[in-house]
Amino acid sequence: MYILGIETSCDDTSAAVLFNNRVLSNVIADQEVHRLYGGVVPELASRAHQQNIVPVVDTALKQAKVTKNQLSLVTYTRGPGLLGSLLVGSSFAKTLSLGLGIPLVDVDHMDAHIFAHFLEDEHQQRHPSFPFICLTVSGGHTQIVRVNNDRSLSIIGRTIDDAAGEAFDKAAKIMGLPYPGGPVIDKLAQEGDPFAFSFAEPRIPGFNYSFSGLKTSILYFIRDQLKTNPAFIENNKADLCASIQHTIVDILMKKLVLVVRESGIKQVALAGGVSANSALRKALSEVGTREGWEVFVPRLGYTTDNAAMIAVAGHMKYHSGYRATLDLSPYTRQHAD
């Protein structure tokens, strides 16, 4: 069956067409407008989604060489995300499914990041089998999830404050780097020494994360250095990026190891925007070899927000017999929050 996916939870308008789990197109229009403000401005995001949604869906259909009448299923992100942005995608998806007389399936954005592992294209065919552990790291959420099967996911650990992506973005902002900071830090860190500077790691018991202390520690450290050397950031940019990245990855991996050891599960996956990070991917592979895990990282095009992951997650829900009704409203926070 041909499936349309629609993702508008934050600042990327995306539409994808799948043939079962195979990606035929995955169009992403990112919104330049937010760069001026160093972060996403919700009102501007929903307006840009309104402008983008029709051309983006149209382009996705054209690239896939599929007409709207060939579609059998419409899937969309119901939440979590920005309310105005979610409303644009959900209204569009509902209208289209109603107009075409085909079923509709709503998808949870964080679950979709995980199910991106089940997408198939010429580069990606291998996927984890149930149950597996997934470290889902995005701009808004950080979770360690036990994926029991395609309908049952248990969150074992989560951040109690900032998400890992937020830690990257806020650290970048402190250094005066552009938004979103994660990919910029990743790039600059390639030339830096990860052990040049050290930052305090949180001591949170159990499987939960905390990243707000790290942000404060980076802020105070840089502020103190600037007092004696106004060019401190400029002169140490690569080392700062490498050290910050190393600390975030270290925090993420330590808890993941604890959870995986306790679970006895040996299949471990990464998902979400931060899973694009080269140091995190490398750490997973090294730790995985040491611990005897079989590791899975999504292909780079499917790490940050995209509609292909929405379509595959929706397709899996559809197969389990689920159908959405038109009265569903978006949710801004994660279910269990």
Phi and psi for 107 in degrees, rounded to 5? Answer: -130, 145
d(CA 12, CA 205): 35
Of 82-90, 207-215, 246-254, 299-307: span binding Zn ion (CB under 5 A): 299-307
Two structure tokens written together for 221: 């450290």
Of 71-79, 89-97, 161-169, 195-203: span binding ligand KG4 (CB under 6 A): 161-169
Shortest separation between residue 301's beta carbon and ligand KG4, angstroms: 12
**In sequence order, what are the beta bridge partners of 4?**
17, 74
d(CA 139, CA 48): 19
From candidates 186, 259, 270, 295, binder to ligand KG4 by CB under 6 A: 186
Shortest separation between residue 63's beta carbon and Zn ion, angstroms: 22
Q: Residue 120, class by beta-carbon neighbours within 10 Å (0-12 exposed, 13-18 middle, 19+ buried)?
A: middle
Q: Which is nearer to ligand KG4, 183 or 213 (CB)?
A: 183
Per DSSP, 209 falls in state B
Asked if 330 touches ligand KG4 (CB under 6 A), the answer is no
Two structure tokens written together for 247: 């600390």
Phi and psi for 158 in degrees, rounded to 5? Answer: -155, 170
Phi and psi for 239 in degrees, rounded to 5? Answer: -65, -40
Two structure tokens written together for 175: 């250094």
Q: Which x/- pattern, by CB under 6 A, does the window 98-137 give for ligand KG4?
A: ----------------------------------------
Interacting positions 25-54 with ligand KG4 (CB under 6 A): none
Asked if 138 touches Zn ion (CB under 5 A), the answer is yes
Interacting positions 267-296 with ligand KG4 (CB under 6 A): 272-274, 276-277
Q: Which x/- pattern, by CB under 5 A, does the window 82-121 give for Zn ion?
A: ----------------------------------------
276 binds, among Zn ion, ligand KG4, none (CB under 5 to 8 A by kind): ligand KG4
Q: Which is nearer to ligand KG4, 263 or 334 (CB)?
A: 334
Number of residues forming the site for ligand KG4 (CB under 6 A): 19
186 binds, among Zn ion, ligand KG4, none (CB under 5 to 8 A by kind): ligand KG4
d(CA 209, CA 322): 33
Q: Which is nearer to Zn ion, 79 or 288 (CB)?
A: 79
Specify the pairing of strand 152-158 against strand 142-149.
Answer: antiparallel
Asked if 194 touches ligand KG4 (CB under 6 A), the answer is no
With a CB cutoff of 8 Å and minimum separation 6, the contacts of 12 are: 28, 29, 30, 31, 304, 305, 306
Query: C-alpha 3: how far from its chain's center?
Result: 21
**In sequence order, what are the beta bridge partners of 71?**
2
d(CA 206, CA 24): 42
Asked if 12 touches Zn ion (CB under 5 A), the answer is no
Q: Which is nearer to ligand KG4, 106 or 169 (CB)?
A: 169
Shortest separation between residue 208's beta carbon and ligand KG4, angstroms: 19
d(CA 313, CA 310): 5
Asked if 142 touches Zn ion (CB under 5 A), the answer is no
Q: What's at 246, amino acid-wise?
A: H
Binding site for ligand KG4 (CB under 6 A): 10, 138-140, 165, 168-169, 180-183, 186, 272-274, 276-277, 304-305
Binding site for Zn ion (CB under 5 A): 138, 305
